[in-house]
Structure 1
Amino acid sequence: MGNALFIVWRESVEAILIISILLAWIRTRDDTRIGVHHLWAGVAGGLALAGFLALAMLGVHGWLAAGALEVFQTAIVFVAAGLITHMVLWMRAHGRHMKRELESGLSHAAESAGGASVAMLAAIAVGREGAETVLFLYGLAMEQSGDTLARLFAGAGIGFVLALATAWVILSGARWLPSRLFFRASEVVLLLLAVALLVSGVERLIDMEWLPPLMEPVWDSSALLDDGSTAGGIAAAFAGYRAQPSLMVLIAWLGYWGVVALLGRLQRRSAA
């Protein structure tokens, strides 16, 4: 429930902030060719795109045979982990100047496309966040059932409500929750979620005998923190913790943080 809540919260906040920037730009510009209805048309289009992806995922889920379905689900886990990581790195590079870049791009596009430029940008923003959310939730939900699955979707609903409140606070300029602090803190949690998904995907490949475990287990820390306990389960879901990890899982976990650190360093050099 907790990871679904956080993912929906974070993704929804980003989409809501973009929509708010577009809305403020429209009202400030006061251009008769560009109205608020163009913005809401784009939002509706983005939601429709995300909904279509969700239906497509369910259709594929019901159509594939057991073996092919397992491969498909494993691929989705890796795609979700990659998308989370890409989103964090993209926000590090563009988040600080996102408002300025959006307004500059809109001004140029509006000269030729008018209201269609706003609708298109809103559709892309909402569709992108919605599609990522669908992939993330699918990756989390495919191993759940019954009450656990219901709690996951309840968490998603709570996450959206919290996103509305968070976006309102940020847009109101509250000093106790500046946008920079919010995005920095959420980046850490998102990267932890991404590595947890990566570990889950690697374990799936090991179970399918596509990867060797190499050595299993490398250690046993069950006495300190059992990943079957409540606290251990939270650490497993949010950070990929395993009390009895295989060497392959450990290599994947350490390799992920090595790649993230390298990409972050290259990003900082490029910005400098």
Structure 2
Amino acid sequence: MIATLVIGLREGLEATLIVGIIAAFLKRNRIPMWPMWLGVGTAVALSIAVGVVLDLVEQALPQAQQEGMEAIIGSVAVVFVTTMIVWMRKHAKNMRAELEAEATAAASRGTAWALAGMAFLAVLKEGFETSVFLLATFQASSNTGLAALGALIGVLGAVVIGFLLYTGGVRLNLAKFFTGTGVFLVFVAAGLVMTALRTAHEAGWILIGQQRTVDLSWLAPNGSVRGALITGILGIQPDPRVVEVLGWFCYLVPVLALALWPRAWRPSPTALPRVRAGLAAGFAVAAIVLALAVHAPDGAAPQTVSLGTGSGSGTATVSTAGTGATVRTTGSGASTVAFGSSARRTATHDGVSADRWRTTSKVSTASRPATVTVDQLVTLFGRIPVGISPDNQPGPYTANWSAERTTTLWTVGSGILDAKQEQTTVVTLSGGGLGTSRTYTLDETRWSVPSRTAQATAAAVQSHATSVSELRLWNTWLPIALAIAALWQVFAILRSRRQAAAAAGASTADAVPADAPADSDAPQTPSPTTAADDASSSQSNPPRSSPYVVR
């Protein structure tokens, strides 16, 4: 409620000040006011319509799109409040003079409708800003009803203060008012930055920087007054994430400095380019240091792993070259298996996206016996095969053998995630009392990476991928933001130089008119008539005091 009250009061007072200055100008020059009021009413209606339409559109969207729209509205609100603070910081002191100059120019172009258009655009700008800012604050608030009540009270208070300023019933130090409310709104906008970053994550747009930083549940418990003040007004969540804290500081520090920096400490026009150049250099150096110094750790999948099961222990070592891969094993199951590019597929293994390599080859069975007994079959299969009765089919049996090996390798980058080699042996038995031939299949694992080793590697790979993703915030996105800030400072330097050159050219042209005589070095003495006219004018038109004073 407090945040929306201050927003309504400040934005409303800006609009009422502009309307009041225009109304005073119209009254002083005896120009009808009703076109101005028509423009003000139309602008207010359009502003309210914008807020209602945005809210209705958001409510009609699915959940993920709602979160995305909230992030967009929050970002736009932050831009609006920042430009508002900067504009008031720059123009508050001379706002009345500037508006009256614009009003005079508008009046010279036509009737009261020109001033009505001026009032319409001014109020429409403030109304749009207020609608978007309030809507973003409503979305971040835990109690929408109280937030709306605060906004209404703020706007009504602004109207009352503006009327009293117009009638001269009250005098207000607008500089201090706008500075104080501006500081408060900087903190509110910084909270909106955090809220926008969180809703963007919930919309699936921002996936980096989601590590938790500190636990603030003790400071802002849910349902408490402190929680309503800290979370509802300042937007600080009980569990801020890394990207949210970074966004909060990156917005709060420069904008707060801009709002509070004393005018006496501002650099002179001649020193400002040097200050901007220093800032640009600092931003550029910081971007380069972050990009080079912050790097992801080495890949988590090892190139050599220990083997188990099957024919005994050993090691497996993988090497990749071009589009192929090779795995070499040691121990009793020593072998070298090469994989071509056609053997490669992308698959998920143990929850990790990996390259799966698979190849199958025939195996010589020359060492297998041509005949086997029942005892040999029990040794081979661990039991008497189904369909053979030692009493009725005592053997020995004629054996026809065939075998093939399938080697499967899962790699992540250039390391081994998992690997195994399986052999399938097929034997066809005949004779020995069998009426018909019988075919049996024997599957065995010659070697494999233990499952616990593969699972540990998968966990390490997932952790590594998370680290790489999180570090991208520091070695990619933050350097990009710093580089943009540096380029902006360079652009500001070039723009100020162009403006200075243009002003110098205009000053030279004014100082030496093209039709001035060459010997016009003698000082000019004003004519008595002109001096008298100036004195008379100054006496007959003394400066008017105005309630719209910025000190």
TM bin, normalised by shorter chain, reads 0.7 to 0.9
1:61 aligns with 2:54: no
Q: Which has the higher helix share?
A: 1
Structure 1 CA distance for aligned equivalents of residues 184 and 178 of structure 2: 10
Partner-residue secondary structure (3-state), 2:94: helix
- TM-score normalised by L of structure 1: 0.85
When residues 253 and 131 of structure 1 are mapped into structure 2, their CA distance, relative to the original with a 3 A threshold, is same
Match of 1:214 in 2: 209
Within the candidate set 41, 44, 51, 2:38 is matched to 41
Deviates more, 1:44-53 or 1:83-92: 44-53
RMSD: 2.6
Structure 2 CA distance for aligned equivalents of residues 261 and 156 of structure 1: 23
Structure 2 CA distance for aligned equivalents of residues 20 and 71 of structure 1: 39
Q: Which amino acid aligns with 1:204?
A: T
Structure 2 CA distance for aligned equivalents of residues 263 and 5 of structure 1: 23
Q: Which amino acid aligns with 2:125?
A: R
8 Å Cα contact 1:193/1:237 also seen in 2: no
Higher RCO (C-alpha 8 Å, min separation 6): 1
Within the candidate set 136, 154, 158, 1:159 is matched to 154
8 Å Cα contact 2:20/2:163 also seen in 1: no
1:29 Cα deviation (Å)? Answer: 1.5
Q: Which amino acid aligns with 2:200?
A: L
8 Å Cα contact 1:193/1:240 also seen in 2: yes
1:221 Cα deviation (Å)? Answer: 4.2
8 Å Cα contact 1:215/1:246 also seen in 2: yes
8 Å Cα contact 1:213/1:249 also seen in 2: no
Runs of 5+ in structure 2 lacking a partner? 273-551
Aligned length: 264
8 Å Cα contact 2:186/2:256 also seen in 1: no
Within the candidate set 197, 219, 234, 1:202 is matched to 197
1:87 aligns with 2:84: yes
Match of 1:142 in 2: 139
8 Å Cα contact 2:78/2:193 also seen in 1: yes
Q: Which amino acid aligns with 2:41?
A: A
Match of 2:19 in 1: 19
1:188 Cα deviation (Å)? Answer: 0.5
When Rg is computed on C-alpha atoms for both structures, the one with the higher figure is 2
Structure 2 CA distance for aligned equivalents of residues 11 and 199 of structure 1: 22
When residues 25 and 141 of structure 1 are mapped into structure 2, their CA distance, relative to the original with a 3 A threshold, is same
- TM-score normalised by L of structure 2: 0.44
Match of 2:7 in 1: 7
Q: Which amino acid aligns with 2:29?
A: R
Within the candidate set 216, 222, 241, 1:246 is matched to 241
Deviates more, 1:236-245 or 1:17-26: 236-245
When residues 208 and 65 of structure 1 are mapped into structure 2, their CA distance, relative to the original with a 3 A threshold, is closer
Q: Deviations over 1:62-113 (max 9, x none)?
A: 4433332321121001111111111111111111111100101111121113
When residues 3 and 18 of structure 1 are mapped into structure 2, their CA distance, relative to the original with a 3 A threshold, is same
When residues 99 and 233 of structure 1 are mapped into structure 2, their CA distance, relative to the original with a 3 A threshold, is same
When residues 270 and 191 of structure 1 are mapped into structure 2, their CA distance, relative to the original with a 3 A threshold, is farther
1:257 Cα deviation (Å)? Answer: 2.3
When residues 143 and 90 of structure 1 are mapped into structure 2, their CA distance, relative to the original with a 3 A threshold, is closer
1:127 Cα deviation (Å)? Answer: 1.1
8 Å Cα contact 2:36/2:116 also seen in 1: yes
8 Å Cα contact 2:13/2:161 also seen in 1: yes
8 Å Cα contact 1:227/1:241 also seen in 2: no
